[in-house]
Structure 1
């Protein structure tokens, strides 16, 4: 309700706002959205730990899903000199996977790319190889120290950098994404160099294993 009503007021559906009122409402809306994300992450992780995560496979149009995720991520830019691109071949197989979980994985990786990239480019690249769909989310951001790469997917692990402390988060997004990929027969990993950007890869079988 807090998120919904603050959005209604920000859209001026109930009248005009003063500059101060708009600032306060944006803060309320941002804090409410952040709290909701924290709760959802903790609930997802609790289900994973309890072994109660179900996978619901369906045919997925990857072109459509990637475009949808990029569109949903655009508000996170908040005026940054950063563009989000996609590189997908015209002919892609229709992937059989859990669409909701795949969307959550992509949105999480795109969100991280935007958070940790002040300027430049983020890109979603998709290709097929040996019966797998290979998805990469590439950014030109701050990168990750080699020492942190080994712990990156540990639950509650967060990078100890000034920017990481500024953007906040639970440290669960990557752990959840990795588990969601593995539940569908795939693999998630990262390549990065400090100050030289990061690339997060995941693969999924075109035909989900029975």
Structure 2
């Protein structure tokens, strides 16, 4: 509702002389609290003032339209809700807002239809994702676990502790082979030249391993 209603209603009342024989005017369809009082510049509601979003220029244009109307036409706008609604819809500002609302409604319906049309594709994609999770993903996870176990085994095999342990085993085995070779030489199962050649090779390998073991152990302790 705009601010001009109060002034027009007063004009309507002033244009009619009061008479005891004149029938009472038709009751307005709107609530009296929505009409601007003389002491207020804005319409009133039960919860307080209703802020107006009409610019001065727009209000002036609406007042210009009302100035051309007769007293009876103005009275009908105050008492006939349908007449008021028809006049309101004829305003350019209201027409623009109605067109915008209609365009938004059409666009919303268009988007809703598109979403409904895409529903079978969405269901199909969900089914494919479910298949991937239950089959392909499970196979890939099993392969990944296998590779991780191989990696852990290789890391354990080449860890410093594992290398030192295998080096100690190799040194122990070299000592045992040297003793067996000595035993064969003592029992005359091998001649001196063959004994010296094999024994020298075994002891050289043993000492190289011992040096590596000592260096590795010293490095790990440091």
Sort the TM-score into its range (normalised by shorter chain). under 0.3
TM-score computed with the length of structure 2 as normaliser? 0.23
Task: Give the strand-richer structure, 1 or 2.
Answer: 1
Task: Identify the structure with the greater helix proportion.
Answer: 2
| Structure 1 length-normalised TM | 0.24
Indicate the structure (1 or 2) with the bigger Cα radius of gyration: 2
